[in-house]
C-alpha cells in the first residue's frame, strides 16, 4: 500500500471511529436526565412539589432541551409560589417548543394555556415584588410595579391583593394609579370578568336605517324585545381559552395573535361559523343585525355610537394602513369617548363584527317591524361597525357590509348576545 493510500485509510478509519463515538454520545445524551424527569413527574402527580422541583432541576442540568421537564418544573414552582422559577421555565418550554417546529411541537394544543399560565405567574411575581416594596417603604417603585401587574390582566384573587396593596400607597399615588387604570382598561378585569360583562338593552323601539345608503332604506321604527350583548368585542385571551377547551381549529396567524401583548385585543381572522361556535360554547349567540344596530346607536337615531360628531382618534380605532402583526387593533375598551348610549365599547372601528343575519340589499323594505331577522338563506352574511383599516363612512352605526361567511380576514371579529 502506498503512503498516500495508507494515510487515506487511516483518516477514513478515524472518521468512522469519531462518528461511532459521536453517535454513542448522542444516544447517551438522549437518555440523559430521564430518570430524574420520571421521578419528578411522579412526585408532581403526588403533589410533592419541593421534591419534584429538586428532581426536575437535576434532570434539566443533564438535558436542558426537554420541553416537558421545563413545563413540569414550572408547575412545581408555581405550586410552591416560587414565581420567578415558574415564569422562567414556562418561558423556556414555550421557547423550546417554538424552535422544535410544527411537526415536533410538544405544545400544539396547550400552548395557549401555557401562555396564560406564564402571564398569570408574571402577575403574581410582580404583585409579590410590590408587596415587598410597600413593606420597605419604596412607594413609588411599588406603584410602578403594581401598574405593570395590572397591565397583565389580573384574576379575582390577584385583584384582591392588588387592591390591598393599592390601599397602602399614599393617596396621591393611589389616585393617579386608579385614573390610569380606568383609562387603560376601560373597566375590564380578567377573562372570566369579561365574559360576565354584558349589557341589557331594554325592550322598545329604535330608529333603524338611514338615507345615506341604498341598502339602509327605508328609515323605520323597529321594535325589539330585550336582549343582552357583550360590552366588549371577544378578545384573543377569551378565544384562546375556548380553543384550549374545545380543540377547535385555530384561525390563521393564531401564533401571531396569541401573544401576551395581544390577549386584550379583539380576536380576528375568524369566520362567521367560528363566531357562531364560540358564542354557542359561551352559552350565548350572535346578535341579529337589528339588535346590533340598536345596541350601537340607541333610540335617538344618532349617526355614530357617541352621537353625530365626526369620528376622531378619541372615538375609535380606524384608518390604519397595516395589520402590523395585530398591533393595529387596540385593546378592547380603550375609547371611553366612543361608547354607545348603553355603555358598549368599540361598536365603531377596531374589528368588523359578524352578526347572525344573511345579507340582502333590499331586506329592510320587506322585513317586519317587530324583531326582524334577515332572509332565511343567502350567499353572504352581514358584518357591522367598520374596522381599524377602513374609512370613517364605515363607522356609521347604520352602515351595512356583506362578506362571505367562510372568510377569515384580519378585519373580522365579533361579540355575542343573549336572550334574557
Which residue, 326, 323, 244, 253, is CA-closest to 278?
A: 244
Mention every residue, 6+ apart, whose C-beta is less than 8 A from residue 342: 199, 201, 295, 298
Q: Per residue in 133-148, pLDDT tens?
A: 988 888 888 888 888 7
Q: Per residue in 109-123, pLDDT tens?
A: 566 577 678 778 888
Is there a contact between 351 and 233 (Cβ–Cβ < 8 Å)?
A: yes
Low-confidence ranges of the chain (pLDDT < 70): 1-30, 101-112, 115, 151-153, 171-196, 390
Q: List the Cα angle 165/168/171 in 5-degree steps.
A: 120
Rounded Cα distance between 90 and 96, Å, is: 10
Q: List the Cα angle 360/361/363 in 5-degree steps.
A: 60
- Exposure on the CB side of residue 373, measured as CA atoms within 13 A: 9
Is there a contact between 272 and 406 (Cβ–Cβ < 8 Å)?
A: yes
- Per-residue confidence (pLDDT) for residue 377, from 0 to 100: 94
Q: Where are the beta strands (DSSP E) in 131-280?
A: 198-201, 204-208, 220-224, 227-230
Amino acid at each position: 500500500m502506498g503512503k498516500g493510500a495508507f494515510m487515506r485509510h487511516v483518516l477514513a478509519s478515524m472518521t468512522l471511529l469519531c462518528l461511532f463515538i459521536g453517535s454513542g454520545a448522542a444516544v447517551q445524551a438522549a437518555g440523559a436526565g430521564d430518570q430524574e424527569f420520571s421521578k419528578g413527574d411522579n412526585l408532581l402527580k403526588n403533589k410533592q412539589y419541593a421534591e419534584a422541583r429538586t428532581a426536575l432541576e437535576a434532570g434539566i442540568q443533564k438535558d436542558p432541551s426537554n420541553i416537558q421537564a421545563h413545563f413540569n418544573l414550572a408547575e412545581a414552582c408555581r405550586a410552591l409560589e416560587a414565581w420567578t422559577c415558574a415564569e422562567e421555565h414556562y418561558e423556556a418550554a414555550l421557547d423550546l417548543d417554538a424552535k422544535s417546529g410544527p411537526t415536533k411541537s410538544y405544545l400544539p394544543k396547550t400552548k395557549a394555556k401555557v401562555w396564560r399560565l406564564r402571564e398569570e405567574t408574571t402577575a403574581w411575581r410582580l404583585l409579590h415584588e410590590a408587596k415587598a416594596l410597600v413593606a420597605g417603604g419604596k412607594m413609588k417603585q411599588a406603584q410602578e410595579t403594581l401598574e405593570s401587574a395590572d397591565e397583565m390582566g389580573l384574576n379575582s384573587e390577584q385583584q384582591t391583593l392588588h387592591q390591598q396593596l393599592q390601599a397602602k400607597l399614599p393617596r396621591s399615588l393611589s389616585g393617579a394609579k386608579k385614573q390610569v387604570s380606568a383609562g387603560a382598561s376601560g373597566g375590564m378585569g380578567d377573562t372570566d370578568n369579561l365574559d360576565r360583562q354584558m349589557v341589557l338593552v331594554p325592550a322598545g323601539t329604535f330608529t333603524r336605517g338611514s338615507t345615506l345608503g341604498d341598502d339602509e332604506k327605508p328609515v323605520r321604527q323597529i321594535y325589539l324585545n330585550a336582549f343582552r350583548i357583550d360590552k366588549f368585542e371577544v378578545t384573543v385571551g377569551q378565544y384562546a381559552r375556548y380553543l384550549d377547551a374545545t380543540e377547535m381549529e385555530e384561525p390563521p396567524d393564531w401564533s401571531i395573535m396569541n401573544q401576551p401583548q395581544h390577549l386584550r385585543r379583539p380576536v380576528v381572522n375568524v369566520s362567521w361559523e367560528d363566531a357562531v361556535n364560540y358564542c354557542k360554547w359561551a352559552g350565548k349567540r350572535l346578535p341579529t343585525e337589528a339588535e346590533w344596530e340598536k345596541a350601537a346607536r340607541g333610540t335617538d337615531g344618532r349617526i355614530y355610537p357617541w352621537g353625530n360628531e365626526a369620528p376622531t382618534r378619541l372615538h375609535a380605532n380606524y384608518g390604519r394602513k397595516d395589520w402590523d402583526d395585530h398591533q393595529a387593533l387596540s385593546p378592547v375598551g380603550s375609547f371611553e369617548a366612543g361608547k354607545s348610549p348603553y355603555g358598549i365599547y368599540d361598536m365603531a372601528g377596531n374589528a368588523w363584527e359578524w352578526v347572525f343575519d344573511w345579507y340582502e340589499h333590499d331586506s329592510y323594505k320587506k322585513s317586519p317591524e317587530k324583531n326582524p331577522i334577515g332572509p332565511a338563506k343567502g350567499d353572504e352574511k352581514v358584518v357591522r361597525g367598520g374596522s381599524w383599516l377602513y374609512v370613517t363612512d364605515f363607522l356609521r352605526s347604520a352602515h351595512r357590509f356583506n362578506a362571505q361567511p367562510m372568510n377569515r380576514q384580519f378585519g373580522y371579529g365579533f361579540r355575542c348576545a343573549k336572550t334574557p
